[in-house]
Amino acid sequence: MRHIISILVENEAGALSRISNMFSARGYNIESLTVAPTEDASMSRMTVVTAGSDEVIEKITKQLNKLVEVVKVVDLSEAEHIERELMLIKVRAGAKEREDLKRMADIFRGRVIDVSDNTYTIELTGDGAKLDAFIQALDQSAILETVRTGASGIGRGNRILKV
Amino acid sequence: MDRVKTEQLTGAQIIVRCLQAEGVDVVFGYPGGAVLWIYDELFKQEKVRHVLVRHEQGAAHAADGYSRSSTKVGVCLVTSGPGLTNAVTGIATAYMDSIPMIVISGQVPTHAIGEDAFQECDTVGITRPCVKHNFLVRDVKDLAATMKKAFHIATTGRPGPVLVDIPKDVTTHTCEFQYPDTVSMRSYNPVKKAHAGQIKKAVQLLLEAQRPLIYSGGGVVQANAAAQLRELAKRTGFPITNTLMGLGGFPATDAQFLGMLGMHGTYEANMAMQRCDVLLAIGARFDDRVIGNPAHFAQDPRKIIHVDIDPSSISKRVKVDVPIVGNIPDVLEDFLKLLQQDKPRDFKPWWEQIAQWRAKDCLKYDRKAKIIKPQFVLEKLYEVTGGEAFVTSDVGQHQMWAAQFYKFEQPRRWINSGGLGTMGFGLPAAMGVQMANPGASVVCVTGESSIQMCLQELSTCKQYRLPIKIVNLNNKYMGMVRQWQQFFHGNRYSESYMDALPDFVKLAEGYGHSGMLIEQPADVEPALREAFKRKNELVFLDFLTDQTENVYPMIPGGKGITEMILSEDL
């Protein structure tokens, strides 16, 4: 099963590789991983999307907690949470296609953020499935480049991950 | 702290002062370019002694042996690049067995890092998977606090090696020195107190057990919980087995002791492990060499209580019913408080069953053989040393026979590489043991193949007059490899025979030690007695042993714990 795990970690050189090392050394998979500092610059927050049985996820959270630089670990998928991912997608946009593409971006609440003679770059935010759906909705041969950040997640309501 | 007490010191001076503050009396190491300033400071003082090894692997194993055989922390010091990479095997060995250890490595100057400088390697990257934690100190101002953290992390929670990588320029920069009294890390707070509810649940299970078994491992030895374990065993009357790493955690001559369990464990221990109804696992981790195939292990129903300091060890290979995360001596004391009974219950049918298993006499061997049996040497070694020696071993058949035939009565006397299985560990580890226990009898049980992996340390033993007794069980084969080839590879002894062995007696003499060649069973005991009489000498005893002897019982890889091959089966 797919799980989304949030990790608060000391913002130190090597912390990221310690965590990714643990996943590869123990044979756990990483679907996506995002990391950036929090409002407290001494700490980073990482979101890892992984898949595995409940036993495997329990092992992953235990192994993460064991790492000296890891401050807190939460499996967001255990309860209500929100997930978002950002995608930038560059598509071929000649005079004929422009209108269609703009309309499609609007339907998905995306924005055109860069325009050239023959391209549009569209910014789109949502959960992974929505981004997938947008890609599917486009003419595949028109897609020039896709870049996705991987999921970030946060608990709903009073569910807060903080030190 | 008031500011008057601080002083300006160089990084190199700070390192030495930190070691002094931690009460370190010996460092095992090898100098080189990146650590010259540290060596310069070691030279100028007398509190911290330095032992010059002949290869950095030896330094790491010696520091490890020092930790295992005492309650102090072993320290090793190596230079950048090859100095560190040579030490990696030793670091990984300590990591796999959860041994506290500090490794200080030199690094190229900060401005050269990443430029493929001479003797540069990514030390922190290379060692990351085999240390509990590591640090690269880029600023001399962080040095003292980092050293304090290193000792704290290495020795608390589940112990392990911690490495501090120090660029050469950091050893020359100066700053105010003040060694912190305490460490506070928001990201590192090992569990101390176990959950009271879980303790109650566990005790309830212990009180209801009909076929109980205590299975204890290296965690009991590392946590200094042997006294509490003994008390618990006595109060409950439960049978008990130890893992390879746990030997000495419970006295081997006690009637409740079933011997070691696992791949080469006793028949009675393995059978009891499978058939018990309540299993109390303490500081052990159900690894592949202990329970064999987990699916087979799960076939018999039993309740499992698992006490460990490391939550990630619990329910890793075997699902347990009552997990208890906590400091082992405290947990055992909590058990004792709740148990209340003074007299052990009677487990007559269970003990009768165990007696039947014991009657198999699974460790029997041909005592009348005209050729020296390796088991016989170890039995005699036990007798001659009165069971009091510190015994290190290398890895292979000799290691298993030592574990089976030397009866360890006390913790920290049996020093071996259980997790990583590092050939070459025995001799340098024995150096560390002897440094930590001057005057004690220290024996290295080894084989002709293992001993050659860190043989150069015979020279270190001479320099520091370490009177280790080396018991070389010489069968001219990598015995355990040969055994597997006999059992599972149709007697095709691929590359397991070692031709052109050195004359070990002359070799020992070449290093300034004495050596003995023992070829007859009748000469085994007199030779051992003679060797131990020579209190101040290293004696290399080269026993020519039966080339075809195998270690029994044996659980073949991937098989269940009761699917043992016994000597009588062949």
Please spell the DSSP secondary structure of B447-495, one letter per residue: ETTTGGGSTTHHHHHHHTT--PEEEEEE-SB-HHHHHHHHHHSTT--TT
Res B1 pLDDT > 50 = no
Query: What would the mean pLDDT of B34-41 be, rounded to a whole number?
Result: 98
Which one from B7, B118, B204, B299 is the annotated catalytic residue? B118
What is the overall mean pLDDT for chain B?
A: 96
Which one from B273, B480, B516, B554 is the annotated catalytic residue? B480
Hey, are the CB atoms on B315 and A69 less than 8 Å from each other?
A: no
Is the ipTM, as predicted for this complex, more than 0.95? no
Per-residue exposure over B132-147, b if at least 16 CB sit within 10 Å of its own CB, e if not: bbbbbbbebeebbbbb
- Residue B542 CB neighbours (<10 A): 25
Query: What would the mean pLDDT of B514-518 be, rounded to a whole number?
Result: 98
Of the candidate ranges A93-97, A144-148, B391-395, the one whose mean pLDDT is the lowest: A93-97
Is residue B390 part of the annotated active site? The answer reads no
Give the closest-approach CA distance of B135 to chain A in angstroms: 9
Look-up: residue for tokens 């069968």? B475
Contact B402, B393 (CB under 8 A): yes
Q: How far is C-alpha B455 from the chain's CA centre?
A: 19
Residue among A14, A62, A163 minimizing CB distance to B186: A163
Contact B202, B31 (CB under 8 A): no
User: B539-544 and B469-474 as β-strands: parallel, antiparallel, unpaired?
Assistant: parallel
Is residue B168 part of the annotated active site? The answer reads yes
The pLDDT, as a whole number, for residue B248 is: 98
The pLDDT, as a whole number, for residue B5 is: 63
Question: Which residues are CB-contacts of B380 (< 8 A; sequence separation ≥ 6)?
Answer: B524, B525, B528
Query: What would the mean pLDDT of A25-36 be, rounded to a whole number?
Result: 95
Residue among A10, A17, A58 minimizing CB distance to B128: A17
Question: Which residues in chain B touch residue A71, judged by CB atoms under 8 angstroms apart?
Answer: 186-187
Hey, are the CB atoms on B310 and A66 less than 8 Å from each other?
A: yes
**Which residue does chain A place closest to B187, by CA atoms?**
A71
Domains of chain B: which residue ranges?
Answer: 3-177, 196-358, 374-551
Res B412 pLDDT > 90 = yes
Query: What would the mean pLDDT of A76-84 be, rounded to a whole number?
Result: 95
Hey, are the CB atoms on A68 and B153 less than 8 Å from each other?
A: yes
Hey, are the CB atoms on B312 and A70 less than 8 Å from each other?
A: no
DSSP codes, B182-211: ----TT-----SPPHHHHHHHHHHHHH-SS
Which of B96, B187, B316 should we substitute to test contact with A (largest number of A Cβ atoms within 10 Å)?
B187
Packing angle of the helix pair B56-68, B82-96 (nearest 10 deg): 30
Question: Which residues in chain A touch residue B311, judged by CB atoms under 8 angstroms apart?
Answer: 62, 65-66
Give the closest-approach CA distance of A31 to chain B in angstroms: 22
What does the block give as tokens for B379?
């039995």
What is the overall mean pLDDT for chain A?
A: 96
Q: Is any Cβ of chain B less than 8 angstroms from the Cβ of A62?
A: yes
Contact B92, B421 (CB under 8 A): no
pLDDT digits (tens, 9 = 90+) for B348-364: 999 999 999 999 999 99
Helix (H, G, I), strand (E, B) or coil at A63: helix
For residue B261, give the nearest of B569, B564, B568, B567 by alpha carbon.
B564
What does the block give as tokens for B513?
């030690």
Q: Is any Cβ of chain B less than 8 angstroms from the Cβ of A162?
A: no
**Which residue does chain A place closest to B311, by CA atoms?**
A62
Is residue B119 part of the annotated active site? The answer reads yes
Res A39 pLDDT > 90 = yes
Element at B166 (helix H, strand E): strand B161-167
Hey, are the CB atoms on A68 and B312 less than 8 Å from each other?
A: no
Q: How many CB pairs under 8 A join A and B?
A: 38
Strand ranges of the sheet holding B322-325, from the earlier edge strand across to the other edge:
B257-260, B240-242, B212-216, B278-282, B303-308, B322-325
Residue among B136, B312, B315 minimizing CB distance to A66: B312
Query: What would the mean pLDDT of A47-74 be, rounded to a whole number?
Result: 96
The pLDDT, as a whole number, for residue B40 is: 98
pLDDT digits (tens, 9 = 90+) for B320-352: 999 999 999 999 999 999 998 768 899 999 999
pLDDT digits (tens, 9 = 90+) for B382-396: 999 999 999 999 999
Look at domain B3-177 and name its CATH class.
Answer: alpha beta
Reported as a pLDDT band with limits 50, 70 and 90, residue B177 is very high
- Across the strands, what pairs with A46? A7, A35
For residue B373, give the nearest of B543, B515, B553 by alpha carbon.
B543
Burial grade of B189 (CB within 10 A; 0-12, 13-18, 19 or more): exposed
Residue among B128, B187, B310 minimizing CB distance to A70: B187
Residue among A10, A25, A71 minimizing CB distance to B129: A25
Domains of chain A: which residue ranges?
Answer: 2-78, 82-152
Reported as a pLDDT band with limits 50, 70 and 90, residue A163 is confident
Which one from B132, B168, B373, B469 is the annotated catalytic residue? B168
The fold adopted by the segment(s) A82-152 is: Alpha-Beta Plaits (3.30.70)
Residue among B124, B187, B312 minimizing CB distance to A69: B187
Strand ranges of the sheet holding A70-75, from the earlier edge strand across to the other edge:
A32-37, A43-51, A2-10, A70-75
Contact B566, B539 (CB under 8 A): no
Question: Which residues in chain A touch residue B188, judged by CB atoms under 8 angstroms apart?
Answer: 68
What does the block give as tokens for B293?
């195939």
Query: What would the mean pLDDT of B170-188 be, rounded to a whole number?
Result: 96
Give percent of chain B with pLDDT exceeding 90: 95
Look-up: residue for tokens 């002083």? B7
Q: Is any Cβ of chain B less than 8 angstroms from the Cβ of A37?
A: no
Res B2 pLDDT > 60 = no
Domain B196-358: which CATH number of 3.40.1110.10, 3.30.43.10, 3.40.449.10, 3.40.50.1220: 3.40.50.1220
Residue among B129, B153, B312 minimizing CB distance to A62: B312
Hey, are the CB atoms on B133 and A9 less than 8 Å from each other?
A: no
Question: Which residues in chain B touch residue A163, judged by CB atoms under 8 angstroms apart?
Answer: 186
Helix (H, G, I), strand (E, B) or coil at B25: coil
Domains A2-78 and A82-152 share a fold: yes
pLDDT digits (tens, 9 = 90+) for B213-260: 999 999 999 999 999 999 999 999 999 999 999 999 999 999 999 999
- The residue type of B376 is F
Res B4 pLDDT > 70 = no
User: B49-52 and B26-29 as β-strands: parallel, antiparallel, unpaired?
Assistant: parallel
Q: Is any Cβ of chain B less than 8 angstroms from the Cβ of A14?
A: yes
Chain B interface residues (partner A, CB cutoff 8 A): 124-125, 128-129, 132-133, 136, 153, 185-188, 310-312, 314-316, 319
Domains B3-177 and B196-358 share a fold: yes
For residue B28, give the nearest of B430, B390, B423 by alpha carbon.
B430
Distances (CA, A) of B472 to B21, B445, B449: 40, 6, 9
The reported pTM is 0.96
Hey, are the CB atoms on B128 and A14 less than 8 Å from each other?
A: yes
Res A140 pLDDT > 80 = yes
The fold adopted by the segment(s) A2-78 is: Alpha-Beta Plaits (3.30.70)
Residue spans of alpha helices (H) in B156-266: 168-172, 196-208, 218-222, 226-236
Q: Which architecture characterizes domain B374-551 according to CATH? A: 3-Layer(aba) Sandwich (3.40)
For residue B474, give the nearest of B509, B498, B441 by alpha carbon.
B498
Residue B155 phi/psi, 5-degree rounding, is -105, -10
Which of A55, A56, A67, A68 should we substitute to test contact with B (largest number of B Cβ atoms within 10 Å)?
A68
Hey, are the CB atoms on A17 and B310 less than 8 Å from each other?
A: no
Q: Is any Cβ of chain B less than 8 angstroms from the Cβ of A9?
A: yes
Question: Which residues in chain B touch residue A53, judged by CB atoms under 8 angstroms apart?
Answer: none
